[in-house]
Structure 1
């Protein structure tokens, strides 16, 4: 039996639908995977910068904030690693190249201004960027577990941002 033109068109249509479905699923998975990797970079950067702050900061409030950031972001990183493992996603084990550069920038310069630089960048700016990342994932993630984890983590990040704003007021005096 020879395929008719109608059969060929139908087969082609089904093939396109299947390919589009696979492409869409892959794109969604890639999007969720990207979020998980960006979240890992952000957490690692926060931890690394906060360890630096514990060593270099002069203000006791900055040191306390850094200690809190290390503890909280380590806990979140552990949760992220567990989630990523269930999704078979290999996470980066440190900050991104640009985040490493930011850490070097806050470390460079006048030591008397270190506390202020740390509070502004790894307190306020980094948390604002991370909140944007998590807000987007909490709305757009396709994997329900990834979406739920992003939503669950947001209140803690928002609290860190509030703490950071208070810290910048202290370091600018």
Structure 2
């Protein structure tokens, strides 16, 4: 019987183990993540639109409300904007949490044109444009995005976030309409 040195025995065992490991790895099926339907490319078109448009309108409302805090001269506008910051921060968080795993949800992607249209204004000029273009028109866009997800979305988590967020948006839109009436603006 041939005697092998301890070093040769260890080397042979290590080589055998590598061969077995490589063989087993080559026969292992692809990871489950590669075969699931939760990737962004496999989301329904309505869900993709909600992620893109919904997150943008929510971020725009939130960031415009933050601008209103420093640019407005009206205490009612400031109170309205403070409420929006709180509401839309929560909406943004719930949308991110509801998004399917592996789907890229923009964290902060507000509409630069909307923010640019108000950031250089102050006082009454700011208040008028903020109420008309952000509080009213912007809220309508947000309502539309959430209603479209509820009607056509297929992802259960996103649909639930839209359903739970819609009453908040509707209440804020009603407050925006009332604010516009009090300030004698189109509503």
In structure 2, what is the equivalent of residue 45 of structure 1? 60
Q: Tell me the distance in 2 between the aligned counterparts of 1:172 and 1:107.
A: 22
In structure 1, what is the equivalent of residue 18 of structure 2? none
Q: Tell me the distance in 2 between the aligned counterparts of 1:171 and 1:39.
A: 28
Secondary structure of the residue aligned to 1:149 is helix
Structure 1 stretches lacking a partner, 5+ long? 1-21
Q: What does 1:68-79 correspond to in 2, within 5 Å?
A: 68-79=83-94
Q: Tell me the distance in 2 between the aligned counterparts of 1:88 and 1:27.
A: 11
In structure 2, what is the equivalent of residue 129 of structure 1? 141
Runs of 4+ displaced beyond 4 Å: none
- The structure 2 residue matched to 1:100, chosen from 112, 126, 139, is 112
How far residue 128 of structure 1 moved from its aligned partner, in angstroms, is 0.6
Q: Larger radius of gyration, structure 1 or 2?
A: 2
Secondary structure of the residue aligned to 1:153 is helix
How far residue 30 of structure 1 moved from its aligned partner, in angstroms, is 4.3
Tell me the number of residue pairs that the alignment of Structure 1 and Structure 2 aligns: 147
Q: Tell me the distance in 1 between the aligned counterparts of 2:183 and 2:67.
A: 16
- Could you give the per-residue CA deviations for residues 133-171 of structure 1, whole angstroms, max 9, x where no partner exists? 111110100112222221121111111110001111233
- The structure 2 residue matched to 1:140, chosen from 138, 149, 152, is 152
Q: CA RMSD in A?
A: 2.2
Per residue, is there more helix in 1 or in 2?
1
Q: Tell me the distance in 2 between the aligned counterparts of 1:50 and 1:110.
A: 14
In structure 1, what is the equivalent of residue 102 of structure 2? 88
